[in-house]
Amino acid sequence: MRLKLSEWRGAWAFLVAQRATGFSRRLQPPDQGAPTSSAPKGRQGPQGLPMPPSCRPFGTGLRMRMGAIPRMGKRSGPCLALFKSTLLLLFALALSGCALKLPPGVEHSGDAWENGLGMKFVLVPPGEFVMGSSAAEIKALIARVGEGNIRPERVAPEKPDHLVRITKPLLFGRHEVTVGQFRRFVEAAGYKTDAERGGGSHVSGGLDTWEKKADANWRSPGFKQADDHPVVCVSWNDAARFIAWLNKADRARPRGWAYRLPTEAEWEWTARGPDRFEWAWGNDWDGTRANFADKSSRLPWGDKAAEDGHARTAPVGSYSPKGDTPLGLADMTGNVWEWCHDWFDPAYYETSPAKDPVNKKEGNRRVERGGGWAFTPDYCRAAFRFALEPNESYDTLGFRVVLAPAGR
């Protein structure tokens, strides 16, 4: 059964629960089946948290809570029960009046939508998952990769694992923003990026160094890029300006929705899903499913046994469908890092709220996620957190956008 997000009107709670079931079904890739037996980690809750037996989408828990209401009425007497029922009815009517209107043709988890500028989006439902990594998972990672190959302080901000609820549906960019899309913005707005206005951008020196070159920018990152490659050498500020322009330029934008960067939690929910995949497609690394530091990168740490076909950036979607998430998002593992909205705080997970977390407390750096063409598989993990100053740019870093209900 395919389930509709647009049917929030009326029996909202019941339909949310049904949508959750639909998401679970679609999270099983048709060509891969269930996650491998070596990857049951999604079934483990974080220590000390009242986790459900598995990391279910949010709707399932909601249905359970709604089911408890009649029993409360019976214990409290008929008048109170009638009062509570009336309140519930009024609540449902209020919700029906502010139902979220999705774009025409978009009703189900994983449905595709194209905006007025030809950018493709995928409907990602609300849900509940365990974000981050447990101490045991970090320990296992370091043992697997080798302590000399990954610095423990780099992965420490993934701890602690914690329950997160994403409460609103998202139209998530299927691809990283491309050079062609960014050019359209620059030409329409007459915009100059941070790198072009002064200082340049950090580009690979060919071995193991990145140096800031004054003449490096999104037009000339030091390697050849066609219009369908992900734009690089753009700062967080540049991404924000692109998004401000997009909100005005796209006449197909649904009423009540707005473009923005994904939050760190939204990004991880979309990349991992309720089963907490380690990479976009599952828990077993496969060097043919993503653009990472392979043999052709010629980087000292590149995997000499792997050949992914691209030494630097790859055209977006080059690894589809086998490198996609179960909902069909491309390049969530590798190709280029992607800016997120949040300020980076390595200790944020220790105090972050469960509901729609986003770190708005100003710091020095903004979050980036997903790994890139110059990085090894452990840095390309969906749980890994990286960050840079918002005016800095690199030839390994771009962004993608989401379209979300306005107001966060």
Cβ at position 322, least distance to Ca ion in Å: 15
Q: Whose Cβ is closer to Ca ion: residue 196's or residue 308's?
A: 308
Give a three-class secondary structure readout of 333-384: CCCCEEEEEEECCCCHHHCCCCECCCCCCCCCCEEEECCCCCCCCCCCCCCC
What residues pair up with 121 in beta bridges, in sequence order? 113, 173
Radius of gyration of the chain (CA): 22
Total residues in contact with Ca ion, by rule CB under 5 A: 8
Pull the structure tokens for residue 242: 């692109």
**Could you tell me the smallest distance in angstroms from the CB atom of residue 45 to Ca ion?**
28
CB 95 to Ca ion: min, Å:
36
Minimum Å gap between C-beta 173 and Ca ion is 10
Among 264, 331, 378, 392, binds Ca ion (CB under 5 A): 331
Binding string, residues 333-372; x marks residues near Ca ion by CB under 5 A: --x----------------------------------x--
Binding mask 369-408 for Ca ion (x = CB under 5 A): -x--x-----------------------------------
Mark 273-292 with x for binding to Ca ion (rule: CB under 5 A) and - for no binding: ------------------x-
Q: CA–CA separation, 403 vs 350, rounded Å?
A: 28
The answer to whether 310 contacts Ca ion (rule: CB under 5 A) is yes
Q: Which stretch binds Ca ion (CB under 5 A): 44-52, 99-107, 330-338, 389-397?
A: 330-338
Q: Which of 401, 366, 398 shows the shortest CA–CA distance to 385? A: 366
Given the DSSP bridges, would you call strands 112-114 and 162-166 parallel, antiparallel or unpaired? unpaired
Which stretch in 100-108, 256-264, 309-317, 380-388 sits in contact with Ca ion by CB under 5 A?
309-317
Q: How far apart are CA 249 and CA 228, in angstroms?
A: 20
Please give the residues from 58 up to 97 whose contact with Ca ion meets the rule CB under 5 A: none
Identify whether the C-beta of residue 319 lies closer than 8 Å to the C-beta of residue 290: yes
Among 294, 324, 345, 368, binds Ca ion (CB under 5 A): 294
Number of H helices, E strands in the chain: 10, 13
Fill in the amino acid letter for 363.
Answer: G
Among residues 196, 308, 324, 345, the one that binds Ca ion under rule CB under 5 A: 308
CA atoms of 218 and 134, how far apart (whole Å): 37
Applying CB under 5 A, which residues contact Ca ion?
Answer: 291, 294, 308, 310, 331, 335, 370, 373
